[in-house]
Structure 1
Amino acid sequence: MEWLKDTFEIRTNGKGMLPITHEVESRLRAWGVREGMCFLYIAHASASLTISENYDPTARKDVEAYYEHAVPENQPWYQHTLEGPDDSPSHIRATLTQPSLSIPIDDGQLSLGTWQGIFLFEHRSRSHRRTIELRCLKVA
């Protein structure tokens, strides 16, 4: 077995789900991984990683709308608002999603379902540069 690692950066333009499957797959191809495990981690408290439908963009819009509805901005009970009205909601949304993902790799492909893709889920209103750690356990 071999342990491979890389870090890549994604620039966001505010709230939303950004597809990153291609960035992950291209690194796995460059490493020649045929079998193994892919691990992704984002070390940010106001963004997360998720797997969701990747075919119809309206599915992504529905997920984004759900989080806007479930954790709205400008609630009078929020105390953590130092960086603006999206401060507390972005942290709450990040706790409801995930900072890391583990995905098997079989026959040179991420073992995602037919309609699944990997997304960086930005919870802040303004743009950010988000760093994603990629680790891969490659089976020889």
Structure 2
Amino acid sequence: MTDTAEAARRPERAILSALTHGAGEQGANIAAAVLPAIRELDEDRARFYGDLVLNSLDDTARRALESMVKGYEYQSDFAKKHVAQGRDQGRREGRLEGERAALLRQLRARFGELPDAAVARIEAAESAALEQWAERVLSANSLADVLDMPS
């Protein structure tokens, strides 16, 4: 199914078409018809169906579809919401990684090479713990004092 209007009228049939033929030579055209149609569905179904469609494509079809939508500005509130959520999550993760890297640099400068357990603990920590440890680095006498670890 490569007709967008037909896909909009029968979204489940369009999904089946993508699952059946998505890895074939018409995969990108099928996805290009199906994806706009499922935007009109409720959020959970749209996300589920979109994932199914994209997963059904082979690499060639996926690249072709990506080139079709390159520079495309999303129109639906659904897509805009999820793009914004992805950006926000990426920013949070980037800040957290920056905090972890800064703390590791400070600890290495102060105490030398760090044990693997300390590095693993820092790499798994959330922002509140990192902030607390970063404050302790200034006055701690040992790595254990900073991380509340037994020496």
User: Shared fold (TM-score greater than 0.5)?
Assistant: no
The structure carrying a bigger helix percent of its residues is 2
User: Which structure carries more relative contact order (alpha carbon 8 Å, separation 6+)?
Assistant: 1
Larger Rg: 2
The structure carrying a bigger strand percent of its residues is 1
TM-score norm. by structure 2 comes to 0.19
